């Protein structure tokens, strides 16, 4: 009982971003473990080839997330800035709602125009069964677009120091999806249906996002479209389109891998890459949870020019993230055969040590660059990203395609590593230090 009391007191007295991080750790542990277990369920339910198709389609979520047009990040920063000045931010909520409605209609038109051609492009090396709908990308794309726009509410939660809700609601959706996938895997007539599996996987998180959107924008009755201020709308748009461009270029670096693989690798290699990525995602989420929770705090103290505190946080967090990845990489190497036997029993997967080490190096580079990126983005210093990320994206694409053709999975990772080393690894620290000295 005394231990429980001490833990409760420690939690109450901890900084808010650490409290949010604790909740994020717990929820992401749950979602990450479910994500890994889903590999076994889906391979059993769909078979190797259709599972590779599932992986390719769900990888598009990162691209469809671009449809928020930077509204979420821009809104989060504005709310944090208003809170730091003890001023109301309802006008920014009003303005963001209008922009989201406009984006929704534009994105639906675009989706109808490209969905069919996109599906044909992605499934060059994968044969879809008769049970798979020719409208699969259209259906899943629509779900992802609505989820993305409603998920703006999660960033508002972070800005309002209620980041625990931004982690809990998506987790509820993941758990429901998990239960649904277990059910269809145990009903023979529902197996080998890629579209059904995708719908069950994506719809529950959609409902979670819709509820969060309702909670933030409508439940409190503070939204009034007719009272929108034009200057607020313009300022939100001016900042959001910069974040939108940044997100697009970042996607060309981190979201292009499955698109490249869909053209040059076979379903077996795509599945193996996905398994390794899921394991490393399980490692990286611990650090990313801290960064997301820290973002609003960075906005507040960096706006007050507390650069010494920022540098201390940088060093501490980079060291922490690096240690997490190193320990996780070693553990993965020692337990890889056990992991494969659990996730893909009966499949002849062999993961080389070199592949795991390359993934480890890539994630350490991400720890370094993501930490600096959060610091800069938290104060809306994103001009530098517009300069180098297009170059990094081009290097990433060319590196992955060329190296992937010659070295398979290792080549995809090598292409990513090269893009980081030639750009963001040294450009972001230099930019942050330059701003700090001004």
Cβ atoms of residues 164 and 23 within 8 Å: yes
At 251 the pLDDT is: 79
| Position 125 confidence tier, pLDDT thresholds 50, 70, 90 | low
Rounded (5°) CA angle 206-276-179: 35
Rounded (5°) CA angle 167-169-174: 95
pLDDT tens, 13-37? 455 556 666 777 788 788 888 888 8
Dihedral of CA atoms 334, 337, 342, 344 in degrees, nearest 10, equals: 140
pLDDT tens, 78-108? 777 777 677 667 777 878 888 888 889 999 9
Give CA–CA dist 296/79, Å, rounded.
9
At 412 the pLDDT is: 94
Instruction: Report phi then psi at 180, rounded to 5.
Output: -65, -40
pLDDT tens, 366-402? 999 988 888 887 766 777 887 888 899 899 999 999 9
| Position 415 confidence tier, pLDDT thresholds 50, 70, 90 | very high
Tell whether the model's pLDDT for residue 65 goes beyond 80.
yes
In 3D, which of 307, 371, 18 has the Cα closest to residue 161? 18
At 11 the pLDDT is: 45
Tell whether the model's pLDDT for residue 3 goes beyond 60.
no
Who's near 141: CB < 8 A, 6+ residues apart? 60, 64, 111, 115
Who's near 234: CB < 8 A, 6+ residues apart? none
Cβ atoms of residues 144 and 60 within 8 Å: yes
| CA distances from residue 247 to 14, 261, 389 in whole angstroms, order as listed | 32, 21, 9
Give CA–CA dist 324/126, Å, rounded.
36
Q: What is the mean pLDDT of residues 124-144?
A: 75
Alpha helices in 189-306 (DSSP H): 194-217, 230-254, 257-264, 267-302
At 16 the pLDDT is: 56
In our burial notation (b when 16+ CB lie closer than 10 A, e otherwise), range 422-436 reads: bbbbebbbebbeebe
Tell whether the model's pLDDT for residue 41 goes beyond 70.
yes
Rounded (5°) CA angle 422-400-33: 100
Cβ atoms of residues 63 and 141 within 8 Å: no
Cβ atoms of residues 143 and 206 within 8 Å: yes
Give CA–CA dist 409/395, Å, rounded.
17
At 131 the pLDDT is: 47
Cβ atoms of residues 68 and 101 within 8 Å: no
At 158 the pLDDT is: 79
In 3D, which of 378, 376, 380 has the Cα closest to residue 294? 378
At 5 the pLDDT is: 44
| Position 10 confidence tier, pLDDT thresholds 50, 70, 90 | very low
| Position 67 confidence tier, pLDDT thresholds 50, 70, 90 | confident
What pTM was estimated for this model as a whole? 0.77
pLDDT tens, 329-363? 999 999 988 888 888 776 777 889 999 999 999 99
In 3D, which of 49, 438, 384, 368 has the Cα closest to residue 249? 384
| CA distances from residue 273 to 124, 276, 394 in whole angstroms, order as listed | 18, 5, 21
At 219 the pLDDT is: 76
| CA distances from residue 142 to 64, 115, 170, 438 in whole angstroms, order as listed | 9, 10, 18, 45
Would you call 222 helix, strand, or coil by DSSP?
A: coil
Give CA–CA dist 132/122, Å, rounded.
14
């Amino acid at each position: 009982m005394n231990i429980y009391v001490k833990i409760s007191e420690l939690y109450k007295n901890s900084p808010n971003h650490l409290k949010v991080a604790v909740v994020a750790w717990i929820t992401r542990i749950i979602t990450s473990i479910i994500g890994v277990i889903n590999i076994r369920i889906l391979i059993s339910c769909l078979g190797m080839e259709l599972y590779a198709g599932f992986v390719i389609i769900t990888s598009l979520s990162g691209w469809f997330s671009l449809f928020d047009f930077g509204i979420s990040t821009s809104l989060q920063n504005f709310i944090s800035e208003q809170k730091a000045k003890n001023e109301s931010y309802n006008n920014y909520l009003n303005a963001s709602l209008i922009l989201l409605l406009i984006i929704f209609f534009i994105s639906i038109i675009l989706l109808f125009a490209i969905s069919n051609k996109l599906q044909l492009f992605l499934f060059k090396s994968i044969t879809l069964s008769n049970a798979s709908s020719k409208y699969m990308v259209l259906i899943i794309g629509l779900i992802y677009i609505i989820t993305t726009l409603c998920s703006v509410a999660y960033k508002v939660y972070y800005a309002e120091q209620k980041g625990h809700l931004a982690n809990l609601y998506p987790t509820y959706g993941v758990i429901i999806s998990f239960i649904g996938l277990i059910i269809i895997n145990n009903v023979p007539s529902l197996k080998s249906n890629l579209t059904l599996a995708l719908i069950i996987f994506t719809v529950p998180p959609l409902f979670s996002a819709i509820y969060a959107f309702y909670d933030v924008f409508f439940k409190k009755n503070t939204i009034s479209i007719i009272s929108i201020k034009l200057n607020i709308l313009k300022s939100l748009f001016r900042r959001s389109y910069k974040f939108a461009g940044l997100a697009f270029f970042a996607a060309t670096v981190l979201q292009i891998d499955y698109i490249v693989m869909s053209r040059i690798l076979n379903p077996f290699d795509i599945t193996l890459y996905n398994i390794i990525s899921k394991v490393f995602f399980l490692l990286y989420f611990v650090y990313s949870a801290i960064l997301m929770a820290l973002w609003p705090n960075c906005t507040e103290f960096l706006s007050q020019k507390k650069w010494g505190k920022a540098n201390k946080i940088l060093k501490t967090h980079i060291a922490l993230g690096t240690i997490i990845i190193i320990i996780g990489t070693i553990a993965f190497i020692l337990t890889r055969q056990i992991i494969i036997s659990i996730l893909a029993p009966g499949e002849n997967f062999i993961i080389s040590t070199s592949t795991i080490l390359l993934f480890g190096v890539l994630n350490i580079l991400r720890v370094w660059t993501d930490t600096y990126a959060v610091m800069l983005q938290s104060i809306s210093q994103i001009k530098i990203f517009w300069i180098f990320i297009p170059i990094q994206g081009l290097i990433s694409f060319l590196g992955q395609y060329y190296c992937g053709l010659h070295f398979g999975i290792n080549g995809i990772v090598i292409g990513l590593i090269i893009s980081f080393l030639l750009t963001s690894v040294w450009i972001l620290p230099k930019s942050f230090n330059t701003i700090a000295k001004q």
